[in-house]
Amino acid sequence: MLHRKKIDPRHIAAYIISMLLLIVLLPYVSIKLFPSMIKPQLAAYDGKLPKEVSLYLTKEDRYVSLSFETYIQGVVAAEMPDSFDEEALKAQAVASRTYALGRINAGTQLCDTVHCQAYRSDNIPDKVKKAVKATKEQVLLYDGQLAAHALYFSSSAGPTENSQDVFSGTFPYLVSVDSSYEPGATHKEEKVTLTLDQFAKKMEEAFPKLDFGKISKSTVKIRSRSAGGRVATCRVGKQTVSGADIRSALGLYSARFTLSVKGNRITFTSSGSGHGVGMSQYGADGMAKKGKTYQEILAHYYQGTEVGK
Ligand SMILES: [Zn+2]
């Protein structure tokens, strides 16, 4: 005859507690003791730069091979006016070299447009050649690793942005910093005025999958701003879109904008030019004109980084 054993509730409690320890505590302790188990440690920068790079010339639809430093000269010449201070040009050279290396390491085919970095091969100013030579092989390092996402943009007209507020990735060196000194910066208080119908049409063209409903004075409003003061979210009709989305849909220079609706007309007033993450080029020139070195400029716009080889 089968004998049914009575189960002691204390045994059940002990069993549950040991299971909880096994499921919760053990993984927790392992992660604390061995963080590399969940986060692969990135390799320290090995100082190796490619001698040659392959570059896709978009307009000519062909590839060229050129030395890495020649490529960087062409990028600095295309990306920053040579009227800028030489320390700003040096900062640009280091940022561009770092960013290019990051893309090469990621296996990206370099091209000559802003998709990678703008590049030109003709009439490279001596000032640019000098800035690239003076910073030969120098890159930005964060915690001994390549600061591969050394983004930059034209002018900020106020603080820069945390990377994650504009793009998807979070990087410790791409955080919001002051950039109020930008003498000579273009793109200030630029106005774009549209009728509400024109605005609705542009939004529908940019986002064909979204149903905006009726776009009227009462349904277009800035909802939130990011750390650097650019528009984070905006209500448009029935939808909520990002400031960056409105910027691209309307071709605004910056997501640092205000909007006002009068009658059936909507006006966007924007300041600054570019995405707002990383180094402001006009800000770099401003710092240089105040006597800062390229290392100081880079350490400001890319927090926690240092220039290394
Ligand atoms: Zn590209």
Q: Quote the ligand 1 centre to 193 CA distance (angstroms).
A: 33
Measured CA to CA, the distance from residue 13 to residue 35 in angstroms comes to: 32
Distances (CA, A) of 97 to 23, 42, 144, 275, 282: 46, 19, 16, 20, 19
Residues 284 and 294: their CA atoms lie apart, in Å, by: 8
Residue 155's DSSP bridge partners are 273
* pLDDT confidence of residue 32: 60
Beta-carbon contacts of 109 under 8 Å, excluding residues fewer than 6 positions away, are 54, 56
Beta strand segments in 36-169, E: 52-57, 62-67, 110-111, 139-142, 145-146, 152-153
CA 74 to CA 118: how far, in whole Å?
Answer: 8
For residue 222, the cross-strand partners are 234
Query: pLDDT at residue 40 above 80?
Result: no
Residue at token pair 């549950």: 16
Distance in Å from the first CA to the final CA of the chain: 82
CA-only gyration radius of the chain, Å: 26
Render pLDDT for 259-284 as a digit per residue (tens, 0 to 9).
999 999 999 999 999 999 999 999 99
Cα 237 vs. chain centroid, distance in angstroms? 29
* Residue 23 pLDDT exceeds 80: no
The better pLDDT of the pair 39, 116 is held by 116
Ligand 1 centroid to Cα of residue 252, in Å, is 22
65 Cα: distance to centroid of ligand 1 (angstroms): 15
Distance 74 CA to ligand 1 centre (A): 15
CA of 288 to the centre of ligand 1 (A): 29
How many angstroms is it from 88 CA to the middle of ligand 1?
Answer: 24
113 C-alpha vs ligand 1 centroid, how far in Å? Answer: 6
Q: Give CA–CA dist 69/38, Å, rounded.
A: 37
Phi, psi of 88 (to 5 degrees): -65, -40
What is the rounded distance in angstroms from the CA atom of residue 249 to the CA atom of residue 12? 61
- Which helix (DSSP H) or strand (DSSP E) does residue 15 occupy? helix 9-20
Band of pLDDT at residue 30, cut at 50, 70 and 90:
low
Rounded mean pLDDT of 126-133? 98
Q: Is the pTM of this model over 0.75?
A: yes
Q: d(Cα 144, Cα 271) in Å, to the nearest integer? A: 36
Asked if pLDDT for residue 247 goes beyond 90, the answer is yes
Ligand 1 centroid distance, CA of 59 (Å):
13
CA of 112 from ligand 1 middle (Å) equals: 7
What pLDDT is recorded for position 26?
Answer: 62
SS3 (DSSP) at 84: coil
Alpha carbons 188 and 49: distance in angstroms, whole number: 39
- Count the Cβ atoms, other than its own, within 10 Å of residue 250: 18
pLDDT for 169-211, tens place per residue?
Answer: 999 999 999 998 998 898 999 999 999 999 999 999 999 999 9
Q: How far apart are CA 295 and CA 142, in angstroms?
A: 13
Q: Which of 269, 203, 261 is nearest to 236 (CA)?
A: 203
How does residue 8 score in pLDDT terms, banded at 50, 70 and 90?
A: confident
pLDDT digit string (tens) for 204-232? 999 999 999 999 999 999 999 999 999 99
Looking from the CA of 207 toward its CB, the CA atoms found within 13 Å total 21
Identify the pLDDT of residue 13: 74
Two structure tokens written together for 299: 């350490």
Does residue 168 contact residue 113 with C-beta atoms inside 8 Å? Answer: no
DSSP state of 79: H
Report the Cα 88 to chain-centroid distance in Å.
19
